[in-house]
Amino acid sequence: MNIASSGLRLLSCTAALALSLSVAAQTKDPNAEFEKFRAEMEESNPAELFEVKGEELWKARRGPKNVSLAESCDLGQGVGKVEAAYVKMPRYFADADAVMDAERRIVWCMVEKQGFKFDDIAKKPFQGGNDNNAPEITNLVTYVASGSRNMKFDIPLGDPKVRDAFETGKAMAAYRAGPYDFSCNTCHGVDGKRIRMQNLPNLATPEGAIKGVQGWPGYRMTGGVMLTSQWRMNDCFRQQRFPEPKYASQTITNLLTYMSGNSNGQMYKGPGIKR
């Protein structure tokens, strides 16, 4: 009896302690400390190392056709022009007759202009946790993205084909399915949601959408790997327990058109850093 009651007292004491701790934690923004760390890291973002490699790849004559992307690849701003290209993609490319995001467009150039095989690029398109180096395509995307540092998103939504991709992406974001029967919008379609410590942006608003595309391509401090928004979108499907789309598919372009399009007018800070 005595033992039981003292056990009970201990229990209630622990409960009170836990309660006071949670009150204390709530008074401080849980992200504030990490934001300070991120600001510090942004000054010396390892993404720059990948930028440098991407620039070399962009300018080097490579592939079976021995041409450089700098002299053959049009990202929408003229052949070889990287400046402001990233914040204006996805866009419609007449030569490919498709709306393409940056990564998809660079892959298209590597295949069509340099003569690389798509299957070879798609075999290992993203850096794994045990890989010391990012794939070439990741370095290229990082370099192209760096050309849009501190520029505002300006996706040409007036173009009917881009608008079409935008609307498809919007519908996909609202599409509920999978074993858990939820859509992107279940978590990312309203303000103020979070998963554990992660605040979830509302992708339907410009302020929310920019949080979704900001920082990609990004250097993940966990594992020290460089990853692109193509990888990030694929990971959304994985988290949703969906089959993951094929590499550089139209599906991802549509979703990126929706997210980037909603970010129009918002500042892109360039390749970022993630925890």
Partner 1 sequence: MADPMKIRAQLKGDVTEIRVLMGHAMETGQRKDAAGATVPAHFIQSMTVDVGGKRVVDGQIGTSVSRNPVFGFKMKGAKVGDKVVVSWVDNKGDKRSDEAAVA
Which residues are known catalytic residues?
236
- Please say which residue, 46 or 156, places its beta carbon nearer to partner 1: 46
> Of 140-148, 192-200, 217-225, 229-237, which part binds partner 1 (CB under 8 A)?
217-225
How many Å apart are CA 152 and CA 11, to the nearest integer?
55
The answer to the question of residue 60 lying near partner 1 (CB under 8 A) is no
- The amino acid at residue 108 is W
> According to CB under 8 A, which one of 18, 224, 238, 275 is a site residue for partner 1?
224
Q: What angle do CA 55, 245, 267 make, to 5 degrees?
A: 45
Tokens 């990012």 sit at which residue?
134
How many Å apart are CA 200 and CA 173, to the nearest integer?
14
- Please say which residue, 41 or 172, places its beta carbon nearer to partner 1: 41
The answer to the question of residue 52 lying near partner 1 (CB under 8 A) is yes
> According to CB under 8 A, which one of 5, 43, 158, 243 is a site residue for partner 1?
43
Residue 49: CB minimum distance to partner 1, A: 4
Residue 250: CB minimum distance to partner 1, A: 31
DSSP string, 94-145: TTTTEEE-HHHHHHHHHHHTT---HHHHHHS-S--TT-SS--HHHHHHHHHH
How many Å apart are CA 7 and CA 13, to the nearest integer?
10
How many Å apart are CA 202 and CA 208, to the nearest integer?
5
The answer to the question of residue 46 lying near partner 1 (CB under 8 A) is yes
Residue 127: CB minimum distance to partner 1, A: 11
Q: Find how far residue 205's CA is from the centre of its chain.
A: 17
Please list every residue from 129 through 158 that binds partner 1, using CB under 8 A.
130, 132
The footprint of partner 1 (CB under 8 A) covers 41, 43-46, 48-49, 52-53, 130, 132, 219, 221, 224
